[in-house]
């Protein structure tokens, strides 16, 4: 009996360790108090409306910063469905800097924003989907260019075709 409990406990420890590793290696953070650091270049991720949002941060300035945003909706039963996601930028003091909605219907929706920052500052980003009674969302990219701290981009292995659409083969 004691041996079986030892095996069960070892199995639980293994599951917790693997689960903890998987959580740390995930590209997105769903905790606004512990955002994932975005890197210079193209950052990639998937999102669905079963999470309240994904949160990021990056250091930008002084100087010009360009941000390219892209979104490809995941469709519904193999058909394009008009969807949008929201990109909300905040500074470290909690001041809302910008709200950008990107719309997609079967192809990539794209938007651009930029700023000339007089000093270096932390920028926070919240990415959220539209609400829906059905699962909506898709693949998105945040490309940072210009005066941004050179961290490594997140989600290098995420591709648009890897989104989990509600489709039938």
- Could you give the CA distance from residue 133 to residue 59 in angstroms, rounded to a whole number? 36
Domains of the chain (ranges plus CATH)?
2-162 (2.60.120.380)
Residue 39 tokens, joined: 């890197």
Distance from C-alpha of 141 to C-alpha of 158, rounded to nearest angstrom: 10
Q: For residue range 9-40, what is the model confidence (pLDDT) as tens digits?
A: 344 333 333 333 333 334 689 999 999 999 99
85-124 pLDDT, tens digit per residue, is 999 999 999 999 999 999 999 999 999 999 999 999 999 9
Residue 161 binned pLDDT confidence (cut-offs 50, 70, 90): low
pTM: 0.79
CB-based contacts of 102: which residues, under 8 Å, 6+ apart? 69, 70, 71, 84, 85, 87, 109, 110, 111, 140
């Amino acid at each position: 009996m004691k041996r079986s409990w030892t095996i069960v406990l070892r199995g639980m420890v293994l599951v917790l360790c693997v689960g903890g590793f998987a959580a740390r290696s995930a590209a997105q953070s769903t905790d606004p108090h512990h955002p994932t650091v975005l890197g210079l270049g193209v950052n990639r991720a998937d999102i669905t409306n079963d999470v309240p949002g994904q949160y990021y941060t990056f250091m930008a300035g002084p100087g010009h910063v360009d941000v390219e945003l892209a979104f490809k909706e995941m469709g519904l039963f193999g058909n394009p469905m008009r969807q949008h996601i929201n990109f909300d930028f905040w500074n470290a003091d909690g001041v809302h800097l910008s709200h950008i909605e990107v719309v997609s219907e079967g192809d990539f929706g794209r938007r651009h924003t930029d700023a000339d920052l007089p000093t270096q500052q932390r920028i926070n980003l919240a990415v959220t989907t539209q609400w829906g009674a059905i699962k909506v969302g898709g693949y998105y990219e945040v490309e940072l260019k210009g005066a941004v701290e050179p961290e490594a981009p997140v989600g290098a292995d995420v591709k648009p075709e890897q989104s989990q659409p509600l489709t039938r083969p």
